[in-house]
Structure 1
């Protein structure tokens, strides 16, 4: 059963630290989000495999927007 990693706040994608097909662990940082001139680390909530990355570096995102799908 999959889950989604969502943006906790609006900002822009500073860095994507994972790739599709990569195994990730709970609390592993998957994305760095730049918001309010600060870099915010977005961690995985569960262990899993990155199914799909839905954003690109430099893209602006809204709060609650899905960033990554994980199996």
Structure 2
């Protein structure tokens, strides 16, 4: 196999994080989300609306998808 062949490209990877994770450690979760985004990994927030975060807060994060 040639170098890079058969490897998953970051843009093909989708990581889903629950809203609860964002609320439990907002600074750590925010940094992790930014780090993953910098690698080209797409991110989704799941279970949005079950906690107390607002759309205004999420506007500042590089989120690809929002799930209720």
Which category of TM-score, normalised to the shorter sequence, fits these structures?
Answer: under 0.3
Which structure would you say has the larger RCO, counting Cα contacts within 8 Å and 6 or more residues apart?
1
Q: Which protein has the bigger helix share?
A: 2
Which one has the largest radius of gyration?
2
Output the TM-score relative to the length of structure 2.
0.24
